[in-house]
Amino acid sequence: KAGVTQTPRYLIKTRGQQVTLSCSPISGHRSVSWYQQTPGQGLQFLFEYFSETQRNKGNFPGRFSGRQFSNSRSEMNVSTLELGDSALYLCASSFAGSGKQYFGPGTRLTVT
Amino acid sequence: AQTVTQSQPEMSVQEAETVTLSCTYDTSESDYYLFWYKQPPSRQMILVIRQEAYKQQNATENRFSVNFQKAAKSFSLKISDSQLGDAAMYFCASFSGGSNYKLTFGKGTLLTVNP
């Protein structure tokens, strides 16, 4: 089976812009989770989707949003980018929302 | 709320030797799972090993094994016969079987393997 894929891999945006990141889970996996990784805060949970429904959301401002499509692919959107949003954004999929999550290679977002 | 603490920011080991990485956790859940993930320089997170909290037997995966002390809320990872490819950041993580559907990670331990 193909692994989790994320696009784009690298992104440079300007403060105030918005960005959309995409994640395609492993075939058959219905749960997709997103994490933000920064040197200062470490790995932080953004949100989790299962069958197009958001089941949990982390402590992030409303500028961070996401959605999941019927084919389980997921997107996350960050509006009004701030310098502090520069991070590695990791997507992970699992069969039904278990801890045994398989991670994608990440999207490195740089906000200037 | 769940918390995971890794008290060793960095560790080093000689090739072929054994090293143990420490992790403590706190949770109010009765049903939970514990994990060790590895993140090499490529930044790809790789699942190393999983432990179900209801199982008393410690999990093993080839050269990797855990020491799960439920009462002490301790979950250490032992790497035997260390190899150069084991060099990476190692994250301990917890996941509750309840309804929050999220992994809670520790800050990580950077493991260096010396030839």
Please give, rounded to a whole number of angstroms, the shortest distance from the CA of A56 to a CA of chain B.
Answer: 6
Q: Hey, what are B65's tokens?
A: 């094994």
Instruction: Please provide residue B47's backbone torsions phi and psi, each rounded to the nearest 5 degrees.
Output: -70, 125
Per-residue pLDDT tens digits for B8-18: 999 999 999 99
Per-residue pLDDT tens digits for B1-10: 789 999 999 9
Per-residue pLDDT tens digits for A32-87: 999 999 999 999 999 999 999 999 999 999 999 999 999 999 999 999 999 999 99
Partner residues linked to B93 by β-bridges: B35, B105
Binary contact (B100, A102; C-beta < 8 A): no
Binary contact (B50, A100; C-beta < 8 A): yes
CA A92/CA A107 separation, integer angstroms:
12
Per-residue pLDDT tens digits for B25-39: 998 888 899 999 999
* Cβ contacts of B67 within 8 Å, gap of 6 or more: B20, B58, B74, B75, B76, B78
Q: Which residues 51-110 of A are in CB contact (within 8 Å) with B? A: 55-56, 58, 88, 90, 92, 97-103, 105-106
